[in-house]
Amino acid sequence: MTRALFIIDVQNDFTEGGALAVTGGAAVAAGITSFLAGSPGYDVVFASRDWHDPDNDNGGHFATTTDPDFEITWPRHCVAGTPGAEYHPALDTGAIDVHVRKGQGKPAYSIFEGTTDDSLTLPEALAERAVTDVDVVGIATDYCVLASALDALDAGASVRVLRDLVAGVAPDSSDAAFARLANRGAVIIESGSVSA
Ligand code: VGL
């Protein structure tokens, strides 16, 4: 078994004070850092960042002519190279082995839509390390965490979502995301029950 951790979109714009602030986002950043300091035993740690173009609406992802609906259209966020797109300062980026960027010119909720800094697709990067098991943490439970975990299941991995290390846009859609993931065979657990 080869275990990977996916840290999804722990970026300034998705945390308190950011352009698309998710309540609890900063606590998730700090919580992931504490969790990793406890040597949870991952063979490889992946982290994704939303990385949108500055000069277009990224395939309708940014609301430009109407108010955002916070389901399909969003406030402008995570523009490539801006402070909002950086990892949250409380996240220990030294623990990240593989950096993945996604969303250049289009909506991209799942880490599987991204590319590594070595220009690999996610299936290529996972195959290179023969990853079998994936734990998922980060932001947002009901969008990018959900999409990434579903794609990891589709890729054949055993998937767990660490409930105390994710934060969602809205409570109802976050509850629905957990239910959908559990229904698909993901295991929802607390980070305290992860052992190396
Ligand atoms: C996300 C909304 C828009 C996320 C990204 O990271 O979950 N949510 N773009």
Residues 113-154 pLDDT 10s: 999 999 999 999 999 999 999 999 999 999 999 999 999 999
> Which residue has tokens 């969303």?
103
Averaged pLDDT for residues 155-159 = 98
Rounded to an integer, what distance in angstroms lies between the CA atom of residue 17 and that of residue 150? 29
Choose, from 78, 135, 144, 151, the residue flagged as catalytic: 144
Q: Whose CA is nearest to atom 8 of ligand 1?
A: 143
Q: Assess if residue 80 is contained within a domain.
A: no
Rounded to an integer, what distance in angstroms lies between the CA atom of residue 22 and that of residue 36? 22
- Per the CB < 8 A criterion, the answer to whether 8 and 177 are in contact is no
3-state secondary structure of 12: helix
Q: Assess if residue 181 is contained within a domain.
A: yes
102 catalytic, yes or no? yes
Nearest atom (ligand 1) to Cα of 141: 7
Q: Please give the angle made by the CA atoms of 41, 43 and 44, to the nearest 5 degrees.
A: 120
Rounded to an integer, what distance in angstroms lies between the CA atom of residue 38 and that of residue 48? 22
Inform me whether the pLDDT recorded for 196 exceeds 90.
no
Averaged pLDDT for residues 171-177 = 98
Q: Please give the angle made by the CA atoms of 50, 133 and 6, to the nearest 5 degrees.
A: 20
- Per cent of the chain over pLDDT 90 is 99
Averaged pLDDT for residues 38-53 = 98
Query: Which residues are registered as beta bridge partners of 189?
Result: 162
Inform me whether the pLDDT recorded for 157 exceeds 90.
yes
Condensed to tens digits (0 to 9), the pLDDT of residues 69-128 reads 999 999 999 999 999 999 999 999 999 999 999 999 999 999 999 999 999 999 999 999
Q: Assess if residue 35 is contained within a domain.
A: yes
Q: Whose CA is nearest to atom 2 of ligand 1?
A: 143
Q: Assess if residue 154 is contained within a domain.
A: yes
Q: Assess if residue 102 is contained within a domain.
A: yes
- Per the CB < 8 A criterion, the answer to whether 186 and 160 are in contact is yes
- Per the CB < 8 A criterion, the answer to whether 48 and 114 are in contact is yes
Q: Assess if residue 129 is contained within a domain.
A: yes
Q: Is the CB of 140 under 6 A from ligand 1?
A: yes
Choose, from 102, 135, 142, 151, the residue flagged as catalytic: 102
Residue 132, domain extent: 3-50+88-193
Q: Assess if residue 164 is contained within a domain.
A: yes
Output the CA 101–ligand 1 centroid distance in Å.
13
3-state secondary structure of 45: strand
pLDDT tier, 30 (very low <50, low <70, confident <90, very high otherwise): very high
Q: Assess if residue 61 is contained within a domain.
A: no
What's the number of domains the chain is made of? Answer: 1
Averaged pLDDT for residues 156-175 = 98
DSSP letter for 3, please: E
144 catalytic, yes or no? yes
Condensed to tens digits (0 to 9), the pLDDT of residues 8-28 reads 999 999 999 999 999 999 999
CATH of the domain at 117: 3.40.50.850
106 catalytic, yes or no? no
pTM score, two decimals? 0.98
